[in-house]
Structure 1
Amino acid sequence: MTKLEKEEILLKGEITNHLNSIEYNDVSNRIFSLIKNYLIEVKVDSSGWNRLFIDPKDGRYWELFYSNSELQGGGAPTLKYLLREEAIIKYDLI
């Protein structure tokens, strides 16, 4: 598993449909690995779809969301860096 690099601010996954099955690209699979094995979940928003994580190495906040709500499961994942102030406001952190 590759950890997040300091210069990374956005990981946008993609999916493709092949004969009635969905295939995730390498970026999507990396996101799934990061949220399962590395990042620490902090909070889920009121919709239940967006989740806030923190990088244990550098303390940066990361938001997981799915930008294709018209697709089953929301489509491919996106992991976006949030400034601390953005995370506090958006996720009502104390």
Structure 2
Amino acid sequence: QSSSATAFVNIRKAAEEGKTIPEGWALDASGNPTTDPAAAMKGAMLAFGGQRGANIALMVEVLAAGLSGANWSLDAPWFSGGPDSPGTGLFVLAIEP
């Protein structure tokens, strides 16, 4: 599950087209909110839903990386960084009501 406000490819596309991105999508490298996609790609993407979304993102990180043995997001290489795999993991939780 993606827990960011948008997909990284949307930010990259906006940068390629010279467009701005909506507020609430990303932070620049200094941690300030930004609408500049180039600055966003050097910073961090924000989670959807504010603090609640950030907590869901943390839970997803613990389940998908911590339990599966995959890379933590901070340790994974960039998707645009060449042929290296980001080493992502998968965790499936099925609940029968």
TM-score w.r.t. length of structure 2: 0.26
Flag the structure with higher helix content: 2
Higher Cα Rg, which structure:
2
Flag the structure with higher strand content: 1
